[in-house]
Amino acid sequence: MMSLLYNLFEDKLEMDHREPFPIFSLNQTTLPTFLRGNDEDDDNMISVGVVTPVGTFYAQLLFLIIVQRIIAAFCSILIYNYIIVNSRHPQKTMSTTASFLIGFGVILPIMLQSPFWFVNVLDIRSKAMRLLLLSLPLTGTLRLLEAFFGFTPQEASSSLQNYMVYFTTLVDVEFDSKTQKPIYATSQDLMLLSKQCFLSSLKLVVALCIFAPMSYTPFETGVLAHSTNHTFADIWSWMHILNNFVAATILSFSLEFGSNNINLLIEITTGIKTKQMVNNPMFASTSVSDFWGSRWNNLIHVALKRGVYKPVRKYCNKRSIAAAATFLASGILHEYCWGLLFYVHDNEKDYESGFCSNCVYPHYGKNVIFFGWNGVLIVFEYLLSQFYFVRKIRTKLPNIIITAMVLITALPIGHLFTGDWVAAGYYEQIQMAFPMFII
C-alpha cells in the first residue's frame, strides 16, 4: 500500500516541465514586447504551442481529498458526542473540563498535526497539495471552537448524521431550517455550479497564460515581493501595487476554481447543496467588510464569525474588540498555514549544512500584521459609516471606483500576504493542472 502511495507522490509537481505541442506560428512583431522570443529568426516567426494538464496533479489531489474527509469524519464523531451532546446535557455526561481535554488535547492535535504527517511521510512539496491539506485544520479548528462555545448551527447539531455532513464536507452546506435536514441540489443547481466551474477555470487559465511568461511579476520594482525591506516609497509605487494586484487576483481565481470544483464534486457524489465560497472579491467589493465578509473566503469568514467573533462578543459585548480578535485569530491561523506551506522536508536540505538553497524561508509575523491592518480598516469603516456624507458619497460613486478604493487600502502591503506565494512558485505549480498556450 505504501509503495503505491510513494509512487503516486513520486512526482513532486514543483517545476512545470511540460513540452508544448506546436499548433501554429506568429510574427513576433505583432506581439507585445514581453511575449517575444529571445532569439529572433530571420522571418521573425515564433511557434505557439499547447500543453495538457498533468494527470498526476489530479490523482494526488483526489487522494488527499478522500483521506482528509475520512479524518474529518472521525473528528466530527468525537466533537458531536463529547462536546455538542455534553453541552446540552451536562448533568448526564462528562464535565466541561473533560470535554475541553478531549477537544483541545485530542481532536485539535489530530487536525493540526495530520497535514505535517502526510507532508513528511509522502514528501509532498507542491504548494497546491499542501494548501488542500490545510482545509481540515483551518475549518476544523474553527468548527471545534464554535462547538465548544455553543455556536454550531442548530440544523447541523440536531443529529450526528447532520453534524457529520456539516463537518466532513469541509465546505458550507445548506440545511432546511424547518426540517433540519440537508437541502439537496436540483438539476438547475448542478447546471449553475457547472457553469461557475467553467467560468472560474477559464478566468484562471487566461490569467496564467498571460502572466506565466513574466513569472507572475509583470513589473520590475527592485525589491523582492517576499522581503521585508520595503520603504514607504516602495509600497506606494504603482508597479509594486500592480504586482500585488496581479498576485492577489490570480490567488482569488485559484481559490474560486478550487472551491467551485470541490462543491461540484460534493453535490454530484452526495446530492447535498453547497454554498459559494469565493465571489469575485477583486472586482466587485463595495467595502472592506464586503471584501472579507462576503467575497474573499466565505467559508472561513463564517467559521471565524462563529468560532471567534461570537464567543468574544458574548463575553465582552464590544463589537470593535470582537472584530480585532477575529482578525488577530485569522492572522495566527495564516501563520500556521505558512508553517505547512513553506515547511522544508529533510529530503530538500543539504546533507552538510542542513539548509535548502532553493526553498523560501518566510518571515513569520507578516500575516498577523496584514490581517491586523485589515481589522483596523473594518473598525475605521464602521466609524466612518456613522457620518451621513460618507454614506452619501458611496451612493454617488461608480462601483468600479468604490472597488478600487477598497483595494488600495490593502494592496500597498499586500505583499505581506502574497509575496511568499510568488517567491515559492505556487502559481507555476498550479498551472500544471491546466491546459495552456505556450510561446
What is residue 93's predicted lDDT score, i.e. its pLDDT? 52
136 within 8 A of 115, measured Cβ to Cβ: yes
Distance set, CA 230 to CA 43, 98, 233, 380, 414 (Å): 44, 48, 8, 25, 12
With respect to residue 8, please indicate whether it lies within any of the assigned structural domains.
no
**Residue 294 shares a structural domain with residue 230:** yes
Whole-number Å distance between alpha carbons of 275 and 277: 6
First to last CA, the chain: 41
**Residue 204 shares a structural domain with residue 290:** yes
When pLDDT is averaged across residues 10-21 and rounded to a whole number, the result is 88
State how many domains the chain has: 2
**Residue 270 shares a structural domain with residue 385:** yes
Percentage of the chain modeled with pLDDT above 70: 93
With respect to residue 7, please indicate whether it lies within any of the assigned structural domains.
no
**Residue 126 shares a structural domain with residue 223:** no
323 within 8 A of 309, measured Cβ to Cβ: yes
**Residue 164 shares a structural domain with residue 238:** no
With respect to residue 389, please indicate whether it lies within any of the assigned structural domains.
yes
Amino acid at 145: L
Distance set, CA 133 to CA 126, 216, 337 (Å): 11, 24, 10
**Residue 279 shares a structural domain with residue 418:** yes
Element (H, E) at 50: strand 45-51
**Residue 161 shares a structural domain with residue 211:** no
What is residue 274's predicted lDDT score, i.e. its pLDDT? 94
With respect to residue 315, please indicate whether it lies within any of the assigned structural domains.
yes
Domain that holds residue 406: 187-348+359-438
Whole-number Å distance between alpha carbons of 416 and 109: 28
pTM for the model: 0.88
What is residue 357's predicted lDDT score, i.e. its pLDDT? 83
**Residue 213 shares a structural domain with residue 156:** no
Of the residues 135, 168, 201, the one at which a domain ends:
168
Cβ neighbors of 228 (< 8 A, separation 6 or more) are 363, 366
**Residue 245 shares a structural domain with residue 207:** yes
With respect to residue 23, please indicate whether it lies within any of the assigned structural domains.
no
pLDDT (tens digit per residue) in 313-361: 988 888 878 888 888 898 899 999 999 999 998 888 887 788 888 888 8
With respect to residue 173, please indicate whether it lies within any of the assigned structural domains.
no
Percentage of the chain modeled with pLDDT above 90: 59
- Cα 125–128–130 angle (5° rounding)? 55
With respect to residue 42, please indicate whether it lies within any of the assigned structural domains.
no
With respect to residue 267, please indicate whether it lies within any of the assigned structural domains.
yes
245 within 8 A of 407, measured Cβ to Cβ: yes
